[in-house]
Each structure stands twice: as C-alpha cells, then as structure tokens.
Amino acid sequence: MKKNLILILCMLCTSLTFANGQFEKAMGKNVPAMFAAETSEDLQAAINNLNRIGEAEKNRWEPYYYVAFGYLKMSEMYQTAEDKDKYLDLAMKAVEKGEEINPNDSELEAIRGYVNMIKLTVDPATRGMTYSGLAFGSFQKAIALNPNNPRAHFLMGRMQYGTAQFMGGGTDDACSSLFKAMVLFGKEEKSDNPFAPSWGKGSTEQSIKELCEKGN
C-alpha cells in the first residue's frame, strides 16, 4: 500500500511538473510566434493561444503582457482610427488583467504607457492633452518601480521625442533617455523568469541611430 501511495504521489509530481512544463512549452512556442507574426491572421492566432494560456494559468501575468504587446502590433497593421482603437482597447484590457495578477509591476506599467502613447498617435491633435499625461505618467511610474527597466527608459525616450516633434523643442531629453536605456540593456541580467520581457534592445539602437547620431 505504501508503495502504491508513493507511486500515486510520484504520478502527481510528474503531472505537476508536466503542468509547469506545459506552461513553458506553450509560452516558448507562442511568445516568439507573436513577435514573428507578419499577418494579422498569424498574429491573432498567437494572441488567441496566449489568451488561452492566461485564462488557464490564474496566477501568471506574462501571457497577458504578450497579449497586450500582440494587440499593439495588431493596431499597427490597420489604418483607420476605429480599427486601431479597437485593438488598442483590447491591449489595455490585457494590461489590466495582468495588473490584477501582478500589481505595481514596472514592465506592465511601461506597456500601459506604451498603449496610451499609441492611442495618442491615432489622433494627436485632440488626444495630445489627455494621453500625453497618461503615457508620461506611466513611464515615470514604471521607472520609479524599477529604475533599471531599460524598456521604460526606451519608451520614455520615444515619448519625449514624439512630444518634441509635435510641440517643437530639441531631442536632448529623448536621447538621454535612449542612452540610459542602452546602458541598462547592456547590464540587464538574465532573469530567473524565462518569460520576463526582454525586447527592446534593437529598437533602442535603431532609435539612437536615427534620432541622436544624425550629423554627429
């Protein structure tokens, strides 16, 4: 009987590790699929998969983080303001789901700011006032929560650049944020969590090249 108990316990162990393995496997497949998707169909499929993972795993915020990122990508694939808003609203809903599981997280706060920044670009003339405040507010909070989050600094830099473009003004603030982001990307250590956000280094390099090294 004892043996059987152990056997059952062991089966439980394996099924537990299997469940964990399943999360890693599914995320390992769908996060890259989301980043790689080039058509809205592929992207929607990856987002749907990530949403399913999120709903099944009640205490993982990462699936929702990538769902939000996926919908941000999706909004870029559409032209009309109505379509863009539709996907940006879905992105914001995903951010909120993630925040319920993991409140006060620098990465989620940064992506919240990202969604507001893109919402602003849909109609800068009318939304500038409200959404620039929301986006700046989130980036500031994301940096306060984790001063070493390179993505928060990168997004802050993009926002400062966009503001300078729209309102007039130099790129000094934007570039200093971007350089800061670059330094932090260099220092960013491999997290214990394989699904912690790690994107952004390439985009930062690109932005620095375009905005801060012109004529230098």
Partner 1 sequence: MRTGFFLLLFISAIVSQGQLTITGQVTEKSGEPLLGVNVYLQGTYDGATTDIAGRFSFSTSEMDSLVLIASFIGFHDAILPIASKSQELNIMLKEEVSVLNAVIITAGAFNASDENQREVMKPLDIVTTAGATADIPGALNTLPGTQTVGETGRLFVRGGDGRETKTFIDGMLVHGEYGPAAPNTPSRSRFSPFMFKGMSFSTGGYSAEYGQALSSALILQSKDVADNNRTDISLMSVGGDVSATRAFKNSSLAGKVQYTNLTPYFELAPQNLKWDKAPTGLDGNFAYRLKTSKTGLLKFYTNLSTSRMELFESEIGNPEAELPVTVSSDYAHVNASYRELVSEKWGIRGGVSMTTSQDFASISDNSRDQKLNGGHVKFVADYQHSDRLAILFGGEVVKRSLDQVLSDETGPFLQNFDETLTASFLETEAFASSALAFKGGLRMEQNSLNGKTTLSPRFSTAYKTGTNSQISMAYGQFYQAPQTQIILTESSAHAEKAAHYIANYQWVKEGHSFRIEVYEKRYDDLVKYASIYESNTFQFDGNGYARGVDLFWRDNKTFKNMDYWVSYSFLQTEREYRDYPGSFTPAFASSHNFSFVMKKFIDEIKSQIGVTYSFASGRPYNDLNSEKFLGGKTPAYHDLSFNISYLYSNQIIVHAMVNNVLGINNIYGYEFADQPDNAGVYTSRAITPPAKRFIFLGVFITLSKNKGINQLPNL
Is 126 an interacting residue with respect to partner 1 (CB under 8 A)?
A: yes
Comparing CA positions, the residue from 73, 21, 24 lying closest to residue 46 is 73
Whole-angstrom Cα distance, residue 193 to residue 123?
A: 37
Considering only residues 38, 80, 190, 214, which one is a binding residue for partner 1 as defined by CB under 8 A?
80
Q: Please, which residues have CB within 8 angstroms of residue 27's CB and are 6 or more apart in sequence?
A: 50, 53, 62, 63, 194, 195
C-alpha distances (whole Å) from 73 to each of 3, 26, 127 are 53, 20, 20
Is 146 an interacting residue with respect to partner 1 (CB under 8 A)?
A: no
- Output b/e per residue, 3-21; b: 16+ Cβ within 10 A: eeeeeeeeeeeeeeeeeee
136/179 with CB nearer partner 1: 136
Considering only residues 10, 16, 36, 129, which one is a binding residue for partner 1 as defined by CB under 8 A?
129
Whole-angstrom Cα distance, residue 85 to residue 99?
A: 21
Task: Report, in Å, the least distance between residue 56 CB and partner 1.
Answer: 5
Q: Mask 26-65, x = binds partner 1 (CB under 8 A)?
A: x-------------xx--xx--xx-xxx-xx---------
173/188 with CB nearer partner 1: 173
Pair of tokens at residue 152:
């928060």
Q: Which stretch binds partner 1 (CB under 8 A): 144-152, 168-176, 182-190, 206-214?
A: 168-176
Task: Report, in Å, the least distance between residue 201 CB and partner 1.
Answer: 26
Sites of contact with partner 1 (CB under 8 A):
4, 22, 26, 40-41, 44-45, 48-49, 51-53, 55-56, 80-82, 85-86, 89-90, 123, 125-130, 132-134, 136-137, 159-160, 163-164, 167-169, 173
